[in-house]
Amino acid sequence: MLVVPDVDAAALAARVLDPPADAVVRHFGRAGLHALPLGDGGFALVRSYRHGGVLRALTQGWFVSRPPRPFVELSVTASARERGVATPEVLAAVVARGFGPWYRGWLVTREIAGACNLWDALRGNPPGNETKGLLLRRVGRALRLMHGRGVEHGDLNLRNILILQGSVRPGVYIIDFDKARLWPGAVSAVRAHANLRRLLRSINKLDPERVHVPLAGWNSLLEGYDRGFDDRC
């Protein structure tokens, strides 16, 4: 396992591999994440790696990739944070070997208290004094910053964007850099637009009637993206 310096690796590994029966579970979209208390009063969220699509039923949580996916995501996420992208701090990446080259993996991140994913935020009331249009402009701005810092997200969707509730000017955080790529300069326009199209597919899948994210909302996101680092967004 790889851990940040101030984390007790042995204690954390025991709780990740064998979570207590009364462990708190946080729900973000389809995933249930175990929440482990930290000494500073906060919580660590444990996400186990699972295949999607057809492989989900065949291999479930077993992988053979090298280097292991949790270690890659820890490295990419740490690099994204260093480049100024708002994303939760990764505390540890854990791998447990099975038979032969197969392994299971977990990623442990520090919980952002009060945050929910963008899909849930759009279905409810935007936090603070925000309108949905202003919130989506902030999201567009965050995505433009990410691309400008050379980070290409591999699975951009409404559930991989977190909104920090309870503040007048809510924060926007991007998560799940499992399939992300880092570039020495800004992400190319072609790849950046592909990221945005993937986000639009997510909107069309979750909200086919466009009740919560109408065309005006998508246009607000694009407006924020086009303005980039304009503080008025």
Buried b (16+ CB within 10 A) or exposed e, 128-155: eebebbbbbbbbbbbbbbbbbbbbbbeb
Amino acid letter, residue 44? A
For the stretch 77-112, pLDDT in tens is 999 999 999 999 999 899 988 888 899 999 999 999
Specify the higher pLDDT residue, 159 or 30.
159
Q: What percent of the chain has pLDDT over 70?
A: 85
Burial of residue 124 (CB within 10 Å: 0-12, 13-18, 19+) is exposed
Among candidate residues 8, 40, 155, 178, the one labeled active-site is 155
| Entry pTM | 0.86
Write the CATH number of the domain with boundaries 2-110: 3.30.200
Average pLDDT over residues 56-70: 80
- The fold of the 115-227 domain, in CATH, is Transferase(Phosphotransferase); domain 1 (1.10.510)
Rg (C-alpha) for the chain, rounded Å, is 18
Which one-letter DSSP state was computed for residue 101?
T
For the chain, give every domain's residue range.
Answer: 2-110, 115-227
Find the helix or strand (DSSP H, E) in which 107 lies. strand 103-110
Residue 148: which H helix or E strand, with range? helix 132-148
d(CA 106, CA 13): 10
Can 155 be counted among the known catalytic residues? yes
Gap between the Cα atoms of 197 and 189, Å rounded: 12
